[in-house]
Chains A and B, each alone.
Chain A
Amino acid sequence: KAGVTQTPRYLIKTRGQQVTLSCSPISGHRSVSWYQQTPGQGLQFLFEYFSETQRNKGNFPGRFSGRQFSNSRSEMNVSTLELGDSALYLCASSLGGTGGNEQFFGPGTRLTVL
Chain B
Amino acid sequence: AQSVTQPDIHITVSEGASLELRCNYSYGATPYLFWYVQSPGQGLQLLLKYFSGDTLVQGIKGFEAEFKRSQSSFNLRKPSVHWSDAAEYFCAVAGYNNNDMRFGAGTRLTVKP
Given A42-B106, A43-B90: A108 touches B43 (CB 8 Å cut-off): yes
0 or 1 for each of B70-103: is its CB under 8 Å from A? (1 = yes): 0000000000000000000010001111111111
A106 touching B101, Cβ below 8 Å: no
User: Do the beta carbons of B94 and A100 come within 8 Å of each other?
Assistant: yes
> Which secondary structure dominates chain B's binding surface?
loop
Binding site for B on A (CB under 8 A): 4, 31, 33, 35, 42-45, 48, 50, 55-56, 58, 90, 92, 94, 96, 98-108
**Interface range on chain B (Cβ under 8 Å from partner):** 20 to 34
**Contact yes or no, A90 B99, CB < 8 A:** no
Chain B residues close to A by CB (< 8 Å): 32, 34, 36, 41-46, 49, 51, 90, 94-106
- Which of these, A42, A45, A107, contacts B101 with CB under 8 Å? A45
Q: Which residues of B sit under 8 angstroms from A108, Cβ to Cβ? A: 43
CA distance A107 to B40 in the complex (A): 10
The answer for the CA separation of A96 and B69 in the assembled complex, in Å, is 26
**Across chains A and B, which 4 residue pairs bring their CB atoms closest together, nearest first?**
A99-B94, A105-B43, A43-B103, A105-B44
